[in-house]
Structure 1
Amino acid sequence: MRGHARHITAVCGHVLLLAFGATALFPLLLVLVNSFKDSSAVTANPLSLPTGLNFENFRQAWSYGHFQRGFINSFILTFTAVLVVLVCSSLAGYVLAGKKIRIWPAVMIYFMVSMTVPIQLFLFPLYFGFSRLHLLGNVAAVGVVIAAINMPLAVFLMRTFFLKVPKEVEEAALVDGANTFQLLRSVILPVVSPGLVTVATIVGLMAWNEFLITSTFLQGDSSMTATLGYLSMNGTFSTNQGVMMAGAVILVGPIIVIFVMLQRYFVDGFVSGSVKG
């Protein structure tokens, strides 16, 4: 009877997960299907299948959305944010996990409080500083701002992963004559690599989809990201749903591909980092 009850519970759980998965995937599939149809067909029946693979919508979306330049700027923005976050959060997480400074509780409280402060409060002083430093339109500088916004969460996550590293591993490396840099590079960071992948994935997705910061500090076509390029199509193709759907596919396609490639490491990182906090 207990085995039968477990089987029923497992089946119900899988059915529930499949329902949630279908709910999440259906809108994406609907966007993909409608991206191959003209505007009249989308308006007439958005649930119908396309009569053929018409790539004209993608050509127009790529041209008018400035995606060629937008993808380059989005890559620079995302790469800068991820690099800054990984370097700073790994160092901060190592120090805070090992309690290597006396004021580590105050630092943790500071990061916790900073997570509750909305970024809108800092937009005006940041804009003033960017203007005085002539950094408006600088994609890499905006990437540093996005990295700072995501830093508290990244530090908390990396500290969790560092807490799982046995102290004996660090002590053995120090006894063998390794300095702090060698210890981090060759011993500690390979152990917490799932955490690095998890943090990089989270920050990368946030940086790629960022709108408020990029629309405030990135001005002009030369600094337009893929997200801003897609939103700039609203004025021209607001009534052409087929082109807008194609632009959405171009925008989210790379994110889906990268996430599918890294999902195993992403899930493993969350599972391994959720045991000890």
Structure 2
Amino acid sequence: MSIAVPSRTPARKAPNDRTASADGRRRRFPVGRTTVYVVLTALAIFSLGPIVLFFFNSLKTNSEYAADSLGLPTSWTWSNFTTAWTQANMGAGLWNSAVIVIGTAAITCVVAGLAAYALARLNVHGASGFMTYLLVATSLPSQMFLVPLFYMWAKAGLYDSRFGLVLIYCGLFSPFATLLLRSFMLGLPREMEEAARVDGAGELRVFLRIVVPNMLPGILTVALTTGLAAYNEFLFAVTMIQSDSKMPLSTTFFSFQQGFTQNFTLISAAGFIMIAPMLILFLALQRRFINGLANSGMGGV
């Protein structure tokens, strides 16, 4: 006689609204995404907070600033910007900075682009040693070159010259720019370059017609980084430029700050005028800037 044994089926647990969905699959809480949003919001407030406070202080009167330096202005004194623009001679400083920034970015892009092409595409003898030199050059502090450059530029007739300051900036920023463009160029395919060589194109033609159009995001990234660094640089500018008519905006703002140490509203207005051009330029080109860093492989890991 056979005895029927009832089949055992595992009992299903009731779906928990907090851990399981209607079809039995476990839901994932967006804890990681929420944390990322909170951190990014905190970083945005940390970055933009001083700029917003700087702008609000530039619209206050001295008495209002002394009473409350962290609050909103009650009377919006827009005349502080015109007064600071006139008294600090910021028009001439902005023009000098524009000449220095454009010259630095243009020469650095040409020098770094050619050097990066040679290191990434050509069989250059001693390329590894040159790469080591570039890495060492980027790690050295620029202050150690100040005294030798001062004597060399004075003897060469480049002291108190905007062109002399541009050459110094190109020497300071070219190593990093070369490394960045080389990393960007290593990610570009070689097929189009090889096809152009098969058709009889020389290296210069290949570089100008094939490589340069493909590496425009990297060139724009180099131009932005070097331009921003040259715009904000102070040590070499205050040492190598002495004429008021040739001073860039950083030294012009410093001279104005020394003469109006008690008028914090005018100093705030002049400072906001100084940071506004580069802030607008970066916000307008930030997507291309980030894409260039990401494609170059130097966006950070």
TM-score range for the pair, normalised by the shorter chain length: over 0.9
Q: CA-to-partner distance for each residue in 1:75-115, whole Å, 9 max, x for gaps?
A: 11111111111001011111111242021001001111111
Match of residue 265, structure 1, among 251, 273, 288? 288
Q: CA-to-partner distance for each residue in 1:220-261, whole Å, 9 max, x for gaps?
A: 111111111111112321111100100011000001000001
CA contact (8 A) 1:38 1:241 kept: no
TM-score where L is the length of structure 1: 0.95
Q: CA-to-partner distance for each residue in 1:16-56, whole Å, 9 max, x for gaps?
A: 10111111100000000111101221121112211233122
The reply to whether residue 40 of structure 1 matches residue 44 of structure 2 is no
Q: CA-to-partner distance for each residue in 1:107-141, whole Å, 9 max, x for gaps?
A: 00111111122222221221112111222221122
Counterpart CA distance in 2 for 1:114 and 1:231 is 29
Match of residue 231, structure 1, among 231, 254, 279? 254
| 1:1-277 superposed matches below 5 A | 3-5=27-29, 7-274=30-297
Counterpart CA distance in 2 for 1:122 and 1:155 is 20
CA contact (8 A) 1:39 1:242 kept: yes
Counterpart CA distance in 2 for 1:148 and 1:17 is 35
Counterpart CA distance in 1 for 2:220 and 2:143 is 28
TM-superposed deviation, 1:12: 1.4
Q: CA-to-partner distance for each residue in 1:199-218, whole Å, 9 max, x for gaps?
A: 11110000000100100100
After the TM superposition, list the runs of 4 or more consecutive aligned residues in structure 1 that deviate by more than 3 angstroms.
Answer: none
Counterpart CA distance in 2 for 1:256 and 1:111 is 29
Q: Secondary structure at the match of 1:115?
A: helix
Aligned amino acid, residue 249 of structure 1: F
- Alpha carbons of 1:3 and 1:83: their partners in 2 closer, same or farther (altered >3 Å)? farther
CA contact (8 A) 1:76 1:140 kept: no
Aligned amino acid, residue 86 of structure 1: C
Aligned amino acid, residue 178 of structure 2: V
Counterpart CA distance in 2 for 1:276 and 1:62 is 37
Q: Where does structure 2 lack aligned partners over 5 or more consecutive residues?
A: 1-18, 20-25
Counting matched residue pairs gives: 276
Task: Work out which of the two has the higher radius of gyration on C-alpha atoms and give 1 or 2.
Answer: 2
Q: Where does structure 1 lack aligned partners over 5 or more consecutive residues?
A: none
Q: Secondary structure at the match of 1:46?
A: coil
Aligned amino acid, residue 288 of structure 2: Y
RMSD (CA atoms)? 1.7
Aligned amino acid, residue 4 of structure 1: R
Aligned amino acid, residue 227 of structure 2: G
- Identity percentage over the alignment? 31
Counterpart CA distance in 1 for 2:255 and 2:146 is 22
Counterpart CA distance in 2 for 1:39 and 1:220 is 31
TM-score where L is the length of structure 2: 0.88
